[in-house]
Amino acid sequence: MTKPQSASVKVCKIAIPVPLHRLFDYLPPDDVDSSQLKPGIRVSVPFGKSCKTGVLIEICRHSEIPNRRLKAIEKVLDAQPLLSQQDMRLLHWASRYYHHPLGEVMATAFPVALRKGKAAQGQHEKAYCLSEKGELVQPEQLQRAPKQQAMLALFQQSSTPLNAAALSAWQRNWRGTLKALRDKELVTETRLAVIPAPPTPAQPTLKANPQQQQAIDDICAARGEFAVFLLEGVTGSGKTEVYMQVIDQVLQQDLQILVLLPEITLTPQLEQRFRQRFAAPIVSSHSKLTDNERLNAWLQMQQGTASIMLGTRSALFTPLKNPGLIILDEEHDSSFKQQEGFRFSARDVAVVRARNLHIPIVLGTATPSLESLYNVKQKRYRLLHLPKRAGNAIEPKFQLLDIRNKKIQDGLSDLLISEIRKTLEKQEQVLLFLNRRGYAPVQMCHSCGYVSRCRRCDANMVIHYDENRLRCHHCGAEQSLPRQCPACQSGELRSIGLGTERIEKTLAELFAANKVVRLDRDTTQRKGSLENYLQRINRGDADIILGTQMLAKGHHFPNVTLAALLDVDSGLFSTDFHSAEKLAQMIVQVAGRAGRAEKQGKVILQTRQPDHPLLVTLLSKGYQAFARTALEERRLALLPPFSHQALLRVHAMNAEAPQVFLNAVKNVLTAINPGKTLVLGPVPAPMAKRAGQFRFQLLLQSEQRKELHSLLDRLIAEIEQIPESKKVRWSLDVDPVDLY
DNA sequence: AGCACGCCGACT
DNA sequence: GTCGGCGTGCTC
């Protein structure tokens, strides 16, 4: 039985996570009192053939859609909105600023469990412990089942119940073994309390040096008001200590702290330090946790039962019952910018969030982004500078190693090899950095020149000898490694270029007596394996550490005294104007890994461009000087931050459609453009074909942010009218950081 | 983005 | 004769 529809029927505007720039109208559910329909609650609605979880935005009297076509909300999921009005405002702002559909923006504020419509209730996490029987059984009694034997021993050694995360860290396929032990009633299931056990006694705070104290005082003086601090300090300058002492004071006011970090790899380390220090509930949120773990963490911050959250980019929108402070560490790191879908910058949105909440935010880094330095110049951010701590590590010595016309074996020059040997003889560790994984980026036939290209991308397949496969790093396509040239059937296939896997094999030959550890996405894919490697390295159970990006991200390797970047040149010649900044940050960050104790470190950069101004300025005058020069270049070229950009990206299966569409867009733009905004393109994307899709882009640039944004508003309305838009998929990237 | 509908090639 | 390829269109 349905209610008679009176003239005063209300219409609910729902934000649904689909890439469409509009809200969807629904009738209120017939069994629910309208007082329960508060903006911000989640609702389940029929959408097309399926059901989706959306957020109620507003209730109005009328709909543009004829009433008889309206469907009713199926279910109200929340009694109260889970997000505060301020956070809803922030999401509306982000949707407008990034010109991204509100439904998708709203969805990113919720953990996956809530996006799927789960109730906003904490889930007690499953854990396992020994049964009474299990405590008595000797593992040796399970002779015919070595895996069960090992797991039983693990339980007998552990003083606490083990959860899924702990078991995964122990072994990848633990579920089968666990089931066998539970069937034998040696292990039983328990539930872990949501709130962690009473924390360990807090460690005493260290005595801050004068500069640290100044920073702490400045930040604390801004409590309860909006202020942005750029905390610049090289590795070893004691940034974390500043964070912790400020956090301590915020905790004393019973306020919460949100700490954002670039990658999950850093979270466990910092979490451990925080747990030793604070007698306050700490939760973390990153992609290696299960949906329920992340839901629990989110709810505990929302309800105020946890005081500190450590999380990655997606933790930015975690609701805070009593917000007190936001800390964003490694602010220069480009992983704070989401690179698909809702392409937001967690750093920039975090600043806006702090402003809305009237709380301070601290951006920490050893290598500030040019945008942040510019904001300091504009007096929008306050700079706090921590010099290197006296008595701590000595500045590493840089050496530009000119490898032109030098003998070089798989990317390692003779001079570098002898430096490595010298370091190893002193029982010290070596760190080698190459930002390319796999064995070699190209496989080529020596007799006919055939190259193994990806069928779906404008890219070559990368050789992975370890798995005996060819892989495309852009679409994930793979095939087994051919033994013969597929084109001419000759056996002369060669590996061209370098990857970490190849260097690893060369190092194993050159330094057969030493242990080499390779850290890249291929070797650290498994949960907990990076932590295992890092422990190994710090135990001294590794002599040469070789790896990609992830090496440059803040890990402490106290015994490394030689760091080398095997190929800096590939970073020098990119079309993207950000690349110089990224390379400089990378060099400084890698250098930060070397020589941290009393031993002076050495940093070697292999290059065929020893006179390149970027390298010369950076090495002779330091990062600050480099940044000044780079900013001046941006100013002269009117590039960001001296102008503002938005990139319209388009892709389609059809090769012509993207360009045809963008030409039409350009025509529209010339008609509505007030004149000062530059329209550059359309041009093919740097990788014109990727995963079978043809890609084009159009860049808009303006000195006035307002002008750019009002143009984008009008453009989006017009785009939907362009007939060609139906044949392509398009998206906007506001403040793009890389043009891929 | 999903998802269904719809019209043309290689299979039982 | 059908299964299924992806071009097209729609979602309140």
Q: Record the pTM.
A: 0.88
- Cα–Cα dist A665/A723, whole Å: 11
A455 CA, B11 C1': separation in Å? 26
Enclosing H/E stretch for A102:
helix A102-109
Give the pLDDT of residue A348. Answer: 98
- Cα–Cα dist A559/A258, whole Å: 32
Amino acid at A335: S
Residue A608 phi/psi, 5° resolution?
-105, 10
CB A305 within 8 A of CB A256: no
Give the pLDDT of residue A195. Answer: 45
**Start-to-end Cα distance in chain A:** 54
- Cα–Cα dist A659/A119, whole Å: 45
Q: Strand A323-329 vs strand A308-311: parallel, antiparallel, or unpaired? A: unpaired
Is there contact between A80 and strand B, defined as CB under 7 Å from any strand atom? no
What are A695's strand-pairing partners? A651
Residue A568 neighbours by CB under 8 Å, 6+ apart: A583, A587, A605, A606, A607, A609, A615
CB A253 within 8 A of CB A391: no
CB A527 within 8 A of CB A286: no
CB A71 within 8 A of CB A36: no
- Taking the C1' atom of every nucleotide in all shown strands and the CA of A70, the nearest one is C12
Is there contact between A20 and strand B, defined as CB under 7 Å from any strand atom? yes
Q: Which of residues 56-85 of A touch strand C (CB under 7 A)?
A: 63, 65, 69-71
CB A609 within 8 A of CB A569: yes
A125 phi-psi bin (left φ>0, alpha ψ -120 to 50, beta other): beta
**Residues in chain A with pLDDT values less than 70:** 1-9, 123-125, 159, 165, 169, 192-204, 264-265, 389-394, 526-528, 554, 595-598, 740
Give the pLDDT of residue A21. Answer: 93
- Taking the C1' atom of every nucleotide in all shown strands and the CA of A63, the nearest one is C12
CB A492 within 8 A of CB A450: no
Q: Enter the tokens of residue A297.
A: 């963490």
- Taking the C1' atom of every nucleotide in all shown strands and the CA of A20, the nearest one is B1
Condensed to tens digits (0 to 9), the pLDDT of residues A622-636 reads 999 999 999 999 999
Q: What is the DSSP letter of A321?
A: S
Is there contact between A19 and strand C, defined as CB under 7 Å from any strand atom? no
- Cα–Cα dist A472/A438, whole Å: 10
How far does CA A276 lie from the centroid of its chain?
26
A93 CA, B2 C1': separation in Å? 27
Is there contact between A726 and strand C, defined as CB under 7 Å from any strand atom? yes
Strand B, nucleotides covered by protein (CB < 7 Å): 1-4
Give the position of tokens 């270049």.
A633
Is there contact between A653 and strand C, defined as CB under 7 Å from any strand atom? yes
- Cα–Cα dist A344/A735, whole Å: 9
Q: Which domains does chain A have, with CATH numbers?
A: 11-115 (3.40.1440.60), 124-193 (no CATH), 210-386 (3.40.50.300), 397-440+497-634 (3.40.50.300), 644-734 (3.30.70.600)
Q: What is the DSSP string of A127-166?
A: EEEE-HHHHHS-GGGGTT-HHHHHHHHHHHH-SS-EEHHH
Give the pLDDT of residue A60. Answer: 92
Strand C, nucleotides covered by protein (CB < 7 Å): 6-12
- Taking the C1' atom of every nucleotide in all shown strands and the CA of A49, the nearest one is B3
Alpha helices, DSSP H, located in A332-383: 346-357, 370-377
The verdict on whether residue A485 carries a ligand-binding annotation is yes
A443 CA, C3 C1': separation in Å? 38
Is there contact between A50 and strand B, defined as CB under 7 Å from any strand atom? yes
- Taking the C1' atom of every nucleotide in all shown strands and the CA of A729, the nearest one is B1
